[in-house]
Structure formats: structure tokens, C-alpha cells
Structure 1
Amino acid sequence: MKKGILVASGLVVAALGTYLIAGNIQKEGAEKHETTDIKKLVHDISAGKATAQSASINSSQLIVTGDDTQTINYDLPDNEFFVSIAPYVEQTHPCATHSLTGCQGEIKNGAFNVTVHDSEGNVIMENAAMKSQSNGFIDLWLPRDKTYRISVNHEGKTAETEFSTYEKNDTCITTMQLS
């Protein structure tokens, strides 16, 4: 009788452990899926593949107002910061919080080489070939809570600036004049 109770108890413990481990794996996968969906949504709105009445992105949330005027706030990843950069030659606009549906940069669908280093000298990207979107912006997702130096080259002209990815920092950089 004691042996039967021990075997039954062992099976219950094994089943409970399997259930808890499987549930944790599913939860971790769901969190990763949500992050991927947010990045895709940001990209699709910026590229005009998804429509919204308005969409803006601050240091912690993507705020989307649909065509039905319902506003939905999406939390951004805890470890990544979104910043959108619009290098320009002649025209720019003042901006702090990037509007995915409103901000327009001067150089649409332009070819750029982008270099980003953090304040400790680590190379985040080196001379990466990138193309601005149809809104004239280059979107980047970078690790949070750091200061970066970025250099952008387009048709022989270069612009450089420093920016940070701390809570409450700007998500829109429109001050990089190419010369």
C-alpha cells in the first residue's frame, strides 16, 4: 500500500513538473512573439503596409489610433529602444516623439551607410548598408540605457550625432544635416 502511494505521488510530482516547465516555455515564446509583432507592426506602419489614423512611438510605447478612432497602446520591449533618424541636406522638421504616420524626411528610399558605436567603444553596426523608408526615415532598434554615436553617409556626404536610449529620451532624430 505504501509503495502504491509513493508511486502515485511520484507520478503526480512528475506530471506537475512537466506542466509547469511546459507552461513556462510557452510563456517565454509568447513574450518573444509579442516583441516580434510590435517590431513588425512598427515597420508595417512606417512602410505604409498597415494603415492607422495616427501612430506615434515614445520611449516605452507604440500608440496607434485606428481608422475606427480606437487607440491601442503597445508596450515596447524592455531591453530594446526604438529610434528613427531622418538625415537631410536641405529640409527637416523639429521632432522628439516619432510619428510613424506623420513624420516625413527629405531623403526617401535613399541608400545610406550607417555606423553606430556605444559610449564604451563597442561597435553596434559598422558601415551597414541601409535604405531609408518611403517616409525618409531609417528605423533602428538598439539596446536600452546606453549612449551612442552614429555616423550616416549618403552620396559622399556625412552627418554625425550622439543620442541616448534611456527612459524619456527622444525617438525621432531630425538634426543630422549631411555635408
Structure 2
Amino acid sequence: MKYAAGEDLLAEHGLDGLEAEEIIDRLDTMPVQERPTDLTASVRPDTLVVSDGPQGRETGLELPEDRFYLSMATWVDGTHECFFHSLTTYLGELRDEETEVTVTDDADDSVLIEGTVQTSDNGFAGFWLPSDIDATATAEHDGHTGSTRISTGEDAPTCLTTLELS
């Protein structure tokens, strides 16, 4: 679903014709220096909201009902508060770093994600997870480890910046 007031907004930023998942993946992995400064994109549990702020144009693209996007920025020395992930503004501490990540479904202990991920230039690593689950995310980087519970429900955060590695 796109809001009529912002249909041309995506075209102006070369994002027209892309599905919400493709826009999220493109913007979240874009080098920081190439990020558009006149565009904001916020990932909600069910919608990607894209706007140009002062211009007043906004468009929303629905996300698949069975998938949930969680962007994770692990940290050692410092972090910031975050609830809905911003694809064009937020920066995490561990930029362009390899991190071992495991995400396990709490209901049946099935492993949803396991392996080495490279954080993007923004310090985040994004994961598409099943919707409506409770899980545990564990990360390890350079001898530091941490673990936290996550949820992918309709009121859950799409940004995880509380996973401290100690």
C-alpha cells in the first residue's frame, strides 16, 4: 500500500518499482556517505514509512504479514536508544565488523539464524525473521558476547541497540 501523497517520492530517490523488503535492504546496507540526506525511512512492524520531512510527502509500503525486519547494532562502549529502525539516520558502534549471531526461537529452541554477519557501514545488521515469535538473540565479536530476548510481534521494536557485548 502506498499513500497517494508520496508516490513520486520513491521515484525521486531511485526506489520506484521496488518492494518494501528491497528498499529496506538497499537503504540499510548503503554506505553512510551515500545516504540521502533529504529522505527518512522508518521500519515499523508492518509498514515501511518513507518521507522527505519538511516537504511533507510520505508513503507507506506494507511488509509481508509473515515476516519481521529487525536491525541489530551490538555494542561494547556505547549505544543509543531506538525503537523503530531508521534506515537513513542511525549509526551503531561496530561499523563494518564481523559478528557471530545466533537467533533461537524460544518456543521450540529452533535456530532461526546462525553464522557470521558483517555489519553495514551504519553499524547495523538486518535480519528477516518470522512474525509473532519470541526469541533469543546472541552475538559475539572480538571475544565479547551478549544475549537478549526479542519479540517480533505487532508492537515490537524493529531496532535492537540494547545487546551489549561484554
Which range, TM-score by smaller chain? 0.7 to 0.9
Question: 3-state SS of the aligned residue for 1:42?
Answer: helix
Structure 2 counterpart of 1:122, one-letter code: S
Q: TM-score if structure 2 supplies the norm length?
A: 0.80
Counterpart residue number, 1:56: 42
Quote the sequence identity (%). Answer: 31
Question: Unaligned regions of 5+ residues in structure 2, if any?
Answer: 1-17
In 2, are the aligned partners of 1:146 and 1:166 still within 8 Å (CA)? yes
Greater RCO (Cα-Cα under 8 Å, separation 6 or more): 2
Does residue 97 (structure 1) correspond to residue 97 (structure 2)? The answer is: no
Q: Which structure shows the bigger proportion of residues in helix conformation?
A: 1
Distance in 1 between the 2:147 and 2:118 partners? 17
In 2, are the aligned partners of 1:147 and 1:165 still within 8 Å (CA)? Answer: yes
Please give the per-residue CA displacement for 1:103-158, whole angstroms capped at 9, x wherever unaligned.
110010110111111012111122x1100011101101100010010111111111
CA RMSD of aligned residues (A): 1.7
TM-score, length of structure 1 as denominator length = 0.75
Which of 59, 62, 74 is 2:61 aligned to? 74
Residue number in structure 2 paired with 1:136: 123
**1-structure distance, mates of 2:133, 2:35:** 31
Instruction: Write the deviation string for residues 39-85 of structure 1: whole angstroms up to 9, x where unpaired.
Output: 21101111236735111011111001148652110001110001111
| Other-structure match for 1:124 | 112
Larger Rg computed on CA atoms: 1
Preserved contact between residue 44 and residue 50 of structure 1 (Cα < 8 Å): no
In 2: Cα distance, 1:37 partner to 1:123 partner = 27
| Runs of 4+ off more than 6 Å | none
Residue 46 of structure 1 aligns to a residue in which SS? helix
Equivalent-residue separation in structure 2 for 1:136 and 1:59 (angstroms): 21
Residues 44 and 84 in structure 2, CA contact (< 8 A), matched pair in contact too: yes
More moved, 38-47 vs 50-59: 50-59
Contact 2:35–2:88 (Cα < 8 Å) also in 1:
no
Quote the residue 1:41 is aligned against. 23
1-structure distance, mates of 2:75, 2:35: 26
